[in-house]
Amino acid sequence: MHLNPHMRDAARAAVFALFFAASAVVRAGGLHADNFDLRSMGTVINLVIWTGDDGSAAEAANAVFAEFRRIDLLMSSWRPDSDVSRINAAAGKPVKISGETIRVISSAQDM
C-alpha cells in the first residue's frame, strides 16, 4: 500500500506522539489514562494516552492535535476558509490551493 505524502506525514506525527508518550511511561512506572479532546472537522476527537507523566502526555497530545488543526485548515468542509471549501465555493473556477491539497485530491482520484 502506497501512502501519499500527506497521509505519511500524519502517520509519522501520530507515531511520534505515541513513542513520546510510551517513553514517558517507561521512565515513570505508574500508569493512568489522560484524556484530551479536540473539536475538528465537524466532530470531537478524543485521545487517550496511558502515561505516568502528565506533562509528556500533554505535549504528545498537543503534537497530535496540532496536526489535526493543520489538516483541518486545508481539508475541512466545515471551515469556509479551507482549501476544500474554497474549491467547492468556486464551482469549477480556478482556485489557488496548497500543494498538499493537490496531492491528496490526486491520490483520491487514483483510488
Q: What is the pLDDT of residues 95-107, one digit of tens each?
A: 999 999 999 989 9
Got the DSSP string for 4-22?
PHHHHHHHHHHHHHHHHHH
Cell digits of residue 35: 484524556
The candidate with the shortest Cα–Cα distance to 13, out of 44, 37, 47, 52, is 47
CA 89 to the chain's CA centroid:
24
Cell digits of residue 26: 517507561
> What is the pTM assigned to this prediction?
0.62
Round to whole Å and give the CA distance between 86 and 23.
Answer: 41
Round to whole Å and give the CA distance between 96 and 58.
Answer: 35
Round to whole Å and give the CA distance between 27 and 109.
Answer: 45
Taking only the tens place, the pLDDT of each residue in 31-65 is: 889 999 999 888 899 999 999 899 999 999 999 99
CB 57 within 8 A of CB 65: no
Relative to beta strand 43-51, strand 32-40 is antiparallel
For residue 1, is pLDDT > 50? no
